[in-house]
């Protein structure tokens, strides 16, 4: 769950918000775009959550989707923190398809804070969140199709934090910076952009009450909010966009929060 407030600033119930539908069929009508037919799409961490939604949306458009995930299933199973796993996966994709149209670096690093995170765990988080995306792009860079696009999944935590989240936050900050570096290095070969989700409910729970109303848009995010943006950024309609980060958080990072104003109250937990 991305960007959920943990309690020192709370009680937004009294604030009025526009009601938003929570049924995905109301929020996300079917797309008729067929521009991804037979395109080769690589998605890391694509077996569940946001990654699965992204993979499914590309499949609906006729794309050939190559997923790698640690979870068992009908995809390439492996840990992207392992260099040899990435090399084998990349070679498999190249041998099967010859070229790649889209790379989506989505796999999540672990989240532990400075009190509990070991050196090895911190390195693992960076391997999953920064090193693996860099190396996968490097392995596939010689096989990018004309008009290729790369999307890196960052987080609103690349610009704000909760306590005890250092491993995750560092990895997400790294992938955001890597995005604009790759955009320049791969100019003419691929466009590279990143997305920073806020609170996205990957379990598809319909949150109501304060959880929803604290969001300026009046609801918690849905994986489809991210998937639809990925498809747009990879399309010709976004052909003049590269090196950018887009925060998709319902406006949460744009709120100025002060105790006693607009329904927000500070609760001292000490």
Give the separation between CA 28 and CA 26, rounded to whole angstroms.
6
Q: Judge whether 55 and 67 are in contact, CB under 8 Å.
A: yes
Give the separation between CA 41 and CA 32, rounded to whole angstroms.
18
In the numeric block, which tokens belong to residue 11? 């009680």
Q: What angle do CA 241, 92, 65 make, to 5 degrees?
A: 45
CA dihedral sign of residues 84, 86, 88, 94: negative
CA dihedral sign of residues 174, 176, 179, 181: negative
**Active-site residue numbers?**
168
Element holding 150 (H helix, E strand): strand 144-153
Q: Judge whether 67 and 75 are in contact, CB under 8 Å.
A: yes
């Amino acid at each position: 769950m991305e960007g959920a407030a943990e309690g020192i600033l709370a009680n937004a119930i009294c604030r009025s918000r526009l009601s938003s539908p929570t049924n995905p069929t109301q929020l996300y009508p079917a797309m008729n775009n067929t521009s991804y037919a037979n395109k080769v799409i690589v998605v890391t961490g694509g077996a569940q959550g946001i990654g699965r939604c992204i993979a499914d949306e590309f499949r609906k458009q006729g794309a050939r989707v190559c997923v790698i995930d640690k979870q068992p299933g009908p995809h390439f199973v492996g840990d992207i923190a392992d260099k040899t796993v990435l090399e084998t996966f990349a070679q498999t994709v190249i041998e099967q398809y010859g070229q790649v149209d889209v790379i989506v670096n989505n796999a999540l690093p672990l989240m532990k804070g400075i009190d509990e995170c070991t050196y090895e765990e911190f390195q693992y988080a960076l391997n999953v969140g920064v090193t693996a995306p860099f190396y996968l792009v490097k392995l596939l860079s010689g096989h990018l199709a004309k008009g290729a696009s790369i999307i890196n999944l960052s987080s609103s935590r690349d610009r704000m934090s909760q306590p005890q989240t250092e491993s995750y936050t560092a990895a997400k900050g790294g992938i955001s910076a890597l995005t604009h570096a790759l955009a320049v290095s791969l100019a003419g070969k691929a466009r590279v952009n990143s997305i920073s989700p806020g609170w996205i409910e990957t379990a598809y729970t319909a949150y109501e009450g304060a959880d929803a109303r604290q969001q300026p848009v009046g609801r918690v995010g849905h994986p489809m909010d991210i998937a639809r943006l990925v498809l747009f950024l990879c399309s010709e309609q976004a052909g003049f966009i590269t090196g950018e980060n887009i925060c998709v958080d319902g406006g949460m990072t744009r709120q100025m929060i002060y105790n006693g104003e607009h329904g927000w109250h500070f609760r001292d937990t000490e």
